[in-house]
Amino acid sequence: MKFLLLAVLGLAIGCIGGMVGIGGGVLLIPALTELFKFQHPRAAGITLAAMVPPVTLPAAWRYYNLKILSTSDLALAACIAVTFSIGAFLGAGLQTRLNVSLLRLLFGLLMLYVAVRLILHADNEAVNAAAGLITTAAAWLGFLGLRSLGRRHAPPRSLGDQIRSAAEQSSGPPDYII
């Protein structure tokens, strides 16, 4: 059943990616982490494995046959593909050194920036970029504010839970007598 759901997910994201010209990782990583509860590094690896050339070549071939892409466009795409694969290799190694929550936050802020730029799409590039940056900064400040509020209002751990947790982790006799 899980493979069927993943196949449906792949079909849906492939259709959307083919329509708007994205590789699918923008949608696939959040879907794998939120819907299927994969850890972010695993979702990133699965996404990269799924995006190998046999997956994207049919869509690119279709664009070429529809005369949307020219031969010179394909040469540009090949140049990008080579440097993209080098960057992906380096990023896979760098990803293991980053905190997963920081990685998720940065990914979310990037998606927010891109979304605002796509939604507003001003004629002036500076206005377009400023709107995206302002929205991203506001989201960052909102995140920090909510995080600080959450820490203040989090219920304190009960003393009994703390003692039981410490007793389970220790291997010797308890340091206290009740």
34-51 pLDDT, tens digit per residue, is 888 888 888 888 888 887
Whether pTM > 0.85 for this model: the answer is no
Q: Which of 77, 31, 76 is nearest to 57 (CA)?
A: 77
User: pLDDT at residue 8 above 80?
Assistant: yes
112-158 pLDDT, tens digit per residue, is 877 777 777 767 777 777 887 888 888 888 888 877 777 666 566 67
**56-65, 94-103, 150-159: the lowest-pLDDT one:** 150-159
Residue 33 structure tokens? 């982490």
- Please give the C-alpha separations between residue 134 and each of 98, 106, 122, 141, 159, in angstroms, as whole numbers: 25, 15, 14, 11, 44
